[in-house]
């Protein structure tokens, strides 16, 4: 019986708790027990099990079934500050940091009755595409042993696919929700910039960072998104727009919807299976009354180089706060400057240092115009491409990634090859648009592959609906065998 609980999806669990078929305590214990048996995956950085069970018992004593997540246990990416629960951002420099405040997104989850059972592994400061830059070690993809779960929300995708949590949340700066979702056969939504509050999320690149849900299916995703997305005066870029009941409004009717296919996303060397999957998606849209329109996003090829200027520049500025004075790790130094330099040298990992240095360089005197300003101008061109496309279409369909999950260690020594993994996801962050990745099939090796639906700004409902229609017709099955449980 216990094992069955973790097979249920989020909406099903909510339903069963509301019908009193299951208690919050039963559900919470079931996910915790499975998490305890799954240490080999290394999905968790911090556990909050005892506390969570206490909270579940309190909920059951006086259940409030009006809540959207009534006593539902949820593990979250360790980039969200959680009051009194250690928050590390996958870094040694924050190894012992205990926030005195709660991020708005996790607060929203708590307000709806959710219970945090733990903090999930991620690339250090969300900088990475494979979870291999985490100070707390590699994470296993439950799909197959020694396979990366994607990144930076790799602990989240792993824990979700392995059913250690019924849903989770990640952050996406250049693909960090959608790529790991694609690598693990799960659903991941990066909302429009300004939709979910950034308050209390450890900052990486502030003009690109967005929090979003990761779930087993589109229904669960809609529920999580409507909980996460609120206007927040604590985030100066939070946008005050009318949020919908995304779950209630979810429907698979895509009749008359115009879907764009950007020709620039047919890149050289992309595996045949991905192309076939894309064709399958196109066919489903046509069969369901949608209209396929060939579009052009001519500056697509410039998105990655632009991103690798803008994101490190913002990161170098954001990460200047880690100086070993008020919180975090500190090294001994002969004087103040020496202390700063040693603290940062020992506290940050190689990828983070690399990006801070790229960012410092492109912002430094004499190079600002050539790099940073140039990148901001190209960012405008990339956004203009989407604005043009959206005069003709309602949404855009592309693959989520140019390949399936790769082996741990395979790309670690070649930063550029690692960066290329985000080729289909990065342009969307630069343009601030919403996009969802849904599992759509497997490659020859049996590894999952995803399709991405990109929407107009603040039109998450349309891409959820299109994803819902695709999901119904694809009927994807994740063949995960529990190989990590003895």
Partner 1 sequence: MTIDLKTVKHISKLSRISIDDNKAKKLGKDLNSIFSFIEKLNELDTKNTEPLTSIAETTLKLRKDEIKSENIREDILKNSPDKNKDFFVVPKVVE
Residue numbers at the binding site for partner 1 (CB under 8 A): 96-98, 100-101, 193-194, 207, 233, 236-237, 239, 299, 301-302, 304-306, 308-309, 316, 320, 323-330, 333-342, 344-345, 348, 353-354, 356-358, 360-361, 364, 371, 373-381, 383, 415-416, 419, 431-432
Rounded to whole angstroms, how far apart are CA atoms 205 and 208? Answer: 6
Smallest separation, CB 251 to partner 1 (Å): 29
Q: What is the DSSP letter of 88?
A: -
**Nearest to partner 1 of 308, 468 (CB atom):** 308
Q: Which CB contacts under 8 angstroms, 24+ apart, belong to 406-409?
A: 406/130, 406/147, 406/148, 407/146, 407/147, 407/148, 408/130, 408/132, 408/138, 408/146, 408/147, 408/148, 409/132
Rounded to whole angstroms, how far apart are CA atoms 452 and 102? Answer: 31
Q: Please, which residues have CB within 8 angstroms of residue 464's CB and are 6 or more apart in sequence?
A: 189, 218, 221, 222, 225, 246, 250, 436
Exposure string over 413-445, b if 16+ CB within 10 A, otherwise e: eeeeebbbbbbbbbbbbbbbbbbbbbbbbbbee
Smallest separation, CB 53 to partner 1 (Å): 25
**Nearest to partner 1 of 291, 384 (CB atom):** 384
Provide the H-helix boundaries in 163-271: 178-184, 218-228
Q: What are phi and psi of 218, to 5 degrees?
A: -70, -35
**Nearest to partner 1 of 59, 340 (CB atom):** 340
Active site residue 296: no
Q: Please, which residues have CB within 8 angstroms of residue 61's CB and are 6 or more apart in sequence?
A: none
Identify the helix (H) or strand (E) that includes residue 210. strand 210-215
Which of 103, 129, 130, 152 is labelled catalytic?
Answer: 152
Residue 52 near residue 32 (C-beta atoms within 8 A): yes
Residue holding tokens 């990745």? 437
Which of 77, 92, 119, 456 is labelled catalytic?
Answer: 77
Sheet with 448-455: strands ordered across = 168-172, 210-215, 187-190, 435-442, 448-455, 395-399, 258-262, 291-295
**Nearest to partner 1 of 194, 448 (CB atom):** 194
Residue holding tokens 């709806």? 112
Overall residue count recorded for the chain in this entry: 486
**Nearest to partner 1 of 419, 484 (CB atom):** 419
Tokens of 163: 């059913």
Smallest separation, CB 478 to partner 1 (Å): 34
Smallest separation, CB 383 to partner 1 (Å): 6
Which of 176, 195, 400, 437 is labelled catalytic?
Answer: 176
Sign of CA dihedral 302, 304, 306, 309: negative
Q: What are phi and psi of 291, to 5 degrees?
A: -115, 130
Q: What is the residue-wise DSSP string for 283-306? A: HHHHHTT-EEEEE--TTGGGHHHH
Active site residue 444: no
**Nearest to partner 1 of 38, 229 (CB atom):** 229
**Nearest to partner 1 of 360, 478 (CB atom):** 360
Residue 52 near residue 28 (C-beta atoms within 8 A): yes
Instruction: Work out whether strand 435-442 and strand 448-455 pair parallel, antiparallel, or are unpaired.
Output: antiparallel
Active site residue 40: no
**Nearest to partner 1 of 432, 439 (CB atom):** 432
Q: What are phi and psi of 23, to 5 degrees?
A: -100, 160
Smallest separation, CB 481 to partner 1 (Å): 38
Smallest separation, CB 379 to partner 1 (Å): 4
Smallest separation, CB 176 to partner 1 (Å): 17
**Nearest to partner 1 of 235, 252 (CB atom):** 235
Beta strands in 82-157 (DSSP E): 115-120
User: Which residues does the annotation mark as catalytic?
Assistant: 77, 152, 176
């Amino acid at each position: 019986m216990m094992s069955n609980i973790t097979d249920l999806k989020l909406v099903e669990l909510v339903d069963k708790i509301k019908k009193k078929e299951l208690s919050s305590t039963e559900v919470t214990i079931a996910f915790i027990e499975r998490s305890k048996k799954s240490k080999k995956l290394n999905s968790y950085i911090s556990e909050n099990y005892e506390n969570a069970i206490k909270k579940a018992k309190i909920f059951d004593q006086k259940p409030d079934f009006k809540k959207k997540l009534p006593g539902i246990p949820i593990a979250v990416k360790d980039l969200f500050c959680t009051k009194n629960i250690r928050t590390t951002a996958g870094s040694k420099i924050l190894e012992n940091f205990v926030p005195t405040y709660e991020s708005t997104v996790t607060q929203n989850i708590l307000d709806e009755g959710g219970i945090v059972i733990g903090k999930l592994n991620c690339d250090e400061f969300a900088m990475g595409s494979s979870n291999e830059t985490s100070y707390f070690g590699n994470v296993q993809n439950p799909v197959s042993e020694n396979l990366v779960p994607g990144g930076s929300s790799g602990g989240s995708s792993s824990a979700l696919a392995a059913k250690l949590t019924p849903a989770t949340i990640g952050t996406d700066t250049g693909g960090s929700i959608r790529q790991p979702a694609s690598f693990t056969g799960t659903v991941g939504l990066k909302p429009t910039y300004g939709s979910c509050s950034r308050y209390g999320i450890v900052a990486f690149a502030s003009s690109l960072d967005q929090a979003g849900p990761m779930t087993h299916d589109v229904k669960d995703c809609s529920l999580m998104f409507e909980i996460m997305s609120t206007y927040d005066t604590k985030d100066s870029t939070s946008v005050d727009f009318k949020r919908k009941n995304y779950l209630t409004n979810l429907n698979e009717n895509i009749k008359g919807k115009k879907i764009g296919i950007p020709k620039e996303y047919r890149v050289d060397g992309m595996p045949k299976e991905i192309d076939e999957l894309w064709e399958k998606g196109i066919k489903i849209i046509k069969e369901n009354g949608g209209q396929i329109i060939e579009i052009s996003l001519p500056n697509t090829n410039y998105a990655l180089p632009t991103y690798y200027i803008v994101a490190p520049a913002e990161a170098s500025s954001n990460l200047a706060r880690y100086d070993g004075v008020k919180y975090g790790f500190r090294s001994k130094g002969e004087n103040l400057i020496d202390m700063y330099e040693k603290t940062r040298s020992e506290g940050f990992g190689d990828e983070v240092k690399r990006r801070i240095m790229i960012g410092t360089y492109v912002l430094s005197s004499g190079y600002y115009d050539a790099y940073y300003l140039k990148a901001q101008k190209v960012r405008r061109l990339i956004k203009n491409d989407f604005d043009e496309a959206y005069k003709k279409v309602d949404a855009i369909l592309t693959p989520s990634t140019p390949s399936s999950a790769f082996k741990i260690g395979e790309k670690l020594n070649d930063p550029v090859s690692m960066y290329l993994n985000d080729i289909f996801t990065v342009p969307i962050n630069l343009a601030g648009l919403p996009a969802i990745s849904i599992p759509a099939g497997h490659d020859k090796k049996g590894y999952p592959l995803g399709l991405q639906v990109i929407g107009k700004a603040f039109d998450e409902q349309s891409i959820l609906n299109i994803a819902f229609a695709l999901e119904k017709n694809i009927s994807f099955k994740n063949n995960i065998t529990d190989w990590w449980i003895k």
